[in-house]
Amino acid sequence: MEIRRNIDPKEICKKVSGKDITSLSKAITLVESTNKSDRLIANKILSELQNKNERNTIRIGVTGVPGAGKSTFIENFGMKLTEMGKRVAVLTIDPSSSISKGSILGDKTRMEKLSQNKNVFIRPTAASNFQGGVAKNTRESIFLCESAGYDIIIIETVGVGQNEISVSEMVDFFLLLKIAGSGDELQGIKRGIIEMSDLIAINKSDGENVENSEKSKNEFQLALKLFPIKSSQWTPKVLTCSALSGKGLNEIWNSIEDYTVLTKKNNYFYQNRINQNKFWLKQMINESIQRSFYENTSVKVEFEKQLKKIEQGKTSVFEATQFLLSFQ
């Protein structure tokens, strides 16, 4: 049953542009909703909003295996950014259970200090079954946060070894968090995730782990030399840090600023965003077609019938596919 909300899209747009956090949360909720009427309202909001802040923002993707200290890093890094006068939005993506479809959505509680900062907006979202370490509507959430005047958008990915291609298609800077002494170093020296990284930060570089961290840093620096020069002309860096003590966080921010200056000067920054918009145009069309297909009443009925026929061995997957596509 469709639930009709009494929401004025223009009023939401006005309040989001006026940096109203409650309205920003409402807008993101509408974008994430699977309710058809909510999606219509969300589309109007996205079309109405003028993202005048877009050219001045930096989108940072943060990934790493569980235990790498992503939440602690983002909390202390975010606090440091607010001390510099930045407004920070953090979009955290939690893994979902493939069985219950549920998600813990606990990142906000793990970043208690940051969540209380008036210049910070934190939004946890379930990844559901969307691949690439991000949630289905992360791209739209970034747009809304920038429209609300946030300077730095941090996207924390699922970080469970999934393909992170999607997040690289929506951020300006890709940061990979690693930890030394976990047996994870060699596993990390693989083409995919390393090739996408603009900076590798060896976290938890404190106490007895300092020596191991320096060793890991050297290993990754050698590994990075095997990769071709990036289109951005940026040379990826490897730094050590301790998110807990704050050691190395300034150096990480300095690297992000250096990257931004370089890529804006050579125009890669802006061209990359144009290419990302092209990528997401295709993604949104694919999602819209898929949603339209499964919402078709005839398809719903026949889909169940075809599943039953496959179960009974009365049709092949190919035949069932062709039959169902004939309804479009």
Using pLDDT thresholds of 50, 70 and 90, give the confidence band for residue 97: very low
Looking at residues 287-306, what average pLDDT do you find?
A: 89
Looking at residues 120-126, what average pLDDT do you find?
A: 88
Give residue 62's pLDDT. Answer: 93
Instruction: Sort 128 into a burial class: Cβ within 10 Å, 0-12 / 13-18 / 19+.
Output: middle
**23 CA to centre of own chain:** 21
Contact by Cβ (8 Å): 133, 93:
yes
Q: Which domains does the chain have, with CATH numbers?
A: 1-49 (1.20.5), 51-266 (3.40.50.300), 278-325 (no CATH)
Give residue 266's pLDDT. Answer: 97
Q: Which residues contact 234 (CB under 8 A, 6 or more apart)?
A: 198, 259, 262, 263
| Percent above pLDDT 90 for the chain | 54
Using pLDDT thresholds of 50, 70 and 90, give the confidence band for residue 191: low
Report helix, strand or coil for 108: helix
Task: Pick the range with the lowest mean pLDDT from 31-40, 86-95, 128-137, 289-298.
Answer: 128-137
Give residue 195's pLDDT. Answer: 82
Report helix, strand or coil for 217: helix
Question: In terms of pTM, does the model score above 0.85?
Answer: yes
Burial 177-211 (b: 16+ CB within 10 A, else e): bbbbebeebeebeeeebbebbbbbbbbbbbeebee
Looking at residues 212-227, what average pLDDT do you find?
A: 89
Looking at residues 52-64, what average pLDDT do you find?
A: 88
Using pLDDT thresholds of 50, 70 and 90, give the confidence band for residue 83: very high
193, pLDDT greater than 50:
yes
What is the average pLDDT score of the chain?
Answer: 85
| Percent above pLDDT 70 for the chain | 84
Using pLDDT thresholds of 50, 70 and 90, give the confidence band for residue 53: confident
Give residue 304's pLDDT. Answer: 94
48, pLDDT greater than 50:
yes
Q: Which residues contact 29 (CB under 8 A, 6 or more apart)?
A: none
Q: Which of 213, 257, 203 is nearest to 234 (CA)?
A: 257
